[in-house]
Structure 1
Amino acid sequence: MTSTARVALITGASQGIGEGLVAGYRKLGYAVVANSRTIAASDDPMVLPVPGDVAQAGVGRRIVNEAVEHFGRIDTVINNAGIFIAKPFTDYTDDDYDATTGVNLRGFFEISRAATAQMLEQGSGGHLVTISTTLVEHASSAVPSALASLTKGGLNAATRALAIEYAARGIRSNAVALGIIRTPMHAPSEYAALAALHPVGHVGEVSDVVDAVLYLENAPFVTGEILHVDGGQSAGH
């Protein structure tokens, strides 16, 4: 199957933010390639589920290849899959390190590299979006998360580097730095305490993230941006 529609590839697409992004891009009229380690079949012929663990070598390239084989192109990549482990630095294990760097770094690297090459071949530009965390720039003693800073901080830097490297080729690169968002990764009992991290006094919703990403999608003059969707957390306390 090939499609004349624009095509978005979204990782971590089975639930939470990723699931919301799939719906958001479909409303824009995009075909969507939806990836996660386990992803359900879709009744929508314009949604291609592609299972795979992006932390594993070669999986990112395979996902991109399947996307191009099925839809014929890739226009947008949303690097949404990520691992966040909050614990004191000296309590991190080698397994924590391998899991976090595998998904956050290898997943981003392999998919973005392969997709960018495809965008360049198409010659019609493209868009890379990475989901990050505001804790990279505004650390909190209440949420010790050095591994997130190590990986997502690097991705913020790569976001800007790619924006400049490919600006003249029509490929934009942006990131969305999040506060706490109401998703299945948090127990409902945690939200009262987590809300206190944000000056607005509440956590964010998946729709807040989707709106931010779709704003970037429809903002051709914006590239190299780290857009904070964090209830004011990045501004201060």
Structure 2
Amino acid sequence: MNGQIQKVAVITGASQGIGAGLVAAFRAQGYAVVANSRSIKPSDDPDVLAVQGDIGEPATAERIIDEGVDRFGRIDTLVNNAGVFIAKPFTDYTAADFAEKVAINLNGFFVVTQRAVARMLEQGGGHIVTVTTSLTDHANSNVPSVLASLTKGGLNAATKSLAIEYAARGIRANAVSPGIVKTPMHPVATHGALAGLHPVNRMGEISDIVSAVMYLESAPFVTGEILHVDGGQSAGH
């Protein structure tokens, strides 16, 4: 790093899709990366620390930050990318659905972000980016998703609250609010129908979301922003 301090990014949900793309993008910018998911494998890259575990369990969230600091000495950026999406009619949600959504989307966010912010305060600054969903701004009867709105909508609000609480102490907080992205979560056979849900008539690419996160990372005057990367969905239909 030519004598400069190497920055460190923590990325949850990092084993595939958007998360894997983010690991590659931060490494390309010279960051060390702490990468977490339930299924993540150890990396051959000495600047990537894989921390396996369920982010919905508080002990995992604590371990991610603790092991990252032990290995790299600091935490500069946290990307809350891990999340679960369950689309079904409201009255069909089960207690297990609710518990899973709250554990991963809210509990995981809360514990890992709280621990990261504490570290960032010691360092004098940092950046939090949370991946939410554009559905919080444009409910769609074809995609019933009250639990997504309940959890991810809460994260959008929390992002603004964090941004203001810590604005004078060098910590920024932003969110990226995607439309439907081509990831392993969506079988290829569904892509045509899913593309049609966007005004631009295509699904998002992993690179679209990664580029948005990297923009926010490089924008020191931007905080409290909910950046929609959704093919126009939140603007209307």
* TM-score above 0.5, yes or no: yes
Secondary structure of 2:14 counterpart: coil
Partner residue, 2:214: 214
5 Å-filtered alignment, 1:170-185, equals 170-185=170-185
Alpha-carbon distance in 2 for matches of 1:67, 1:57: 16
Report the AA paired with residue 20 of structure 1. Answer: G
Aligned to 1:20: 21
1:192 and 1:142 map into 2 onto residues whose CA distance is 15
Q: Secondary structure at the match of 1:156?
A: helix
Distance 1:41 1:60 in 2: 18
Letter in 2 for 1:204: G
Deviations 1:12-33 (A, max 9, x none): 0000000000000011110000
- Is residue 226 from structure 1 mapped to residue 222 from structure 2 by the alignment? no
Output the CA distance in 1 between the equivalents of 2:59 and 2:153: 24
Tell me if 1:143 matches 2:143.
yes
Give the whole-Å Cα distance in 1 for the aligned partners of 2:206 and 2:41: 20
Structure 1 segments of 4 or more deviating over 2 A? none
Structure 2 letter corresponding to 1:94: A
The match for 1:156 is: 156
Correspondence for 2:42: 41
Task: Give the letter for the 1:14 counterpart.
Answer: S
Structure 1 residues 107-145: Cα deviation after superposition (integer angstroms, max 9, x where no partner): 10000000000000112x100000000100111011000
Equivalent residue of 1:77, what SS?
Answer: strand
Question: How far apart are residue 43 of structure 1 and its match?
Answer: 1.2
Question: Aligned to 1:155, what secondary structure does the other structure show?
Answer: helix
- Number of aligned positions between the proteins: 234
Amino acid at match of 1:154: G
Q: Show the counterpart of 1:87.
A: 88
CA distance in 2, matches of 1:225, 1:197: 24
What amino acid sits opposite 1:111 in the alignment? Answer: V
- Residue 57 (structure 1) shift: 2.5
**Is 2:226 the partner of 1:205?**
no
- With 104-113 and 51-60 compared, the bigger mean Cα shift is at 51-60
SS in 2 for 1:212: helix
**Corresponding residue number in structure 1 for 2:72:** 71
Report the AA paired with residue 89 of structure 2: P
Partners of 2:87 and 2:98 in 1: CA distance: 12
Q: How far apart are 1:226 and its partner, in Å?
A: 0.2
1:127 aligns with 2:127: yes
What TM-score, normalized to structure 1? 0.98
Give the match's secondary structure for 2:30.
coil
Q: CA separation in 1, counterparts of 2:8 and 2:65? A: 11
Counting aligned pairs with the same residue, the percent is: 66
User: Tell me, what secondary structure is at the counterpart of 1:106?
Assistant: helix
Give the CA deviation at 1:214: 0.2
Residue 57 of structure 1 is matched in structure 2 by: 58
SS of match in other structure, 1:58: helix
Quote the residue 1:189 is aligned against: 189
Partner residue in 1 for 2:100: 99
- 2:104 maps to a residue whose letter is V
1:9 corresponds in structure 2 to 10
Q: Distance in 2 between matches of 1:38 and 1:72?
A: 25
| Structure-1 separation of matches of 2:71 and 2:31 | 14
What is the CA–CA distance in structure 1 between the aligned matches of 2:183 and 2:169, rounded to whole Å?
36
> Partner of 2:30 in structure 1?
29
1:153-201 per-residue CA deviation (whole Å, 9 max, x = no partner) reads 1000000000000000010000000100000011110110001110000
- Unmatched runs of 5 consecutive residues or more in structure 2: none
Q: Distance in 1 between matches of 2:199 and 2:123?
A: 44
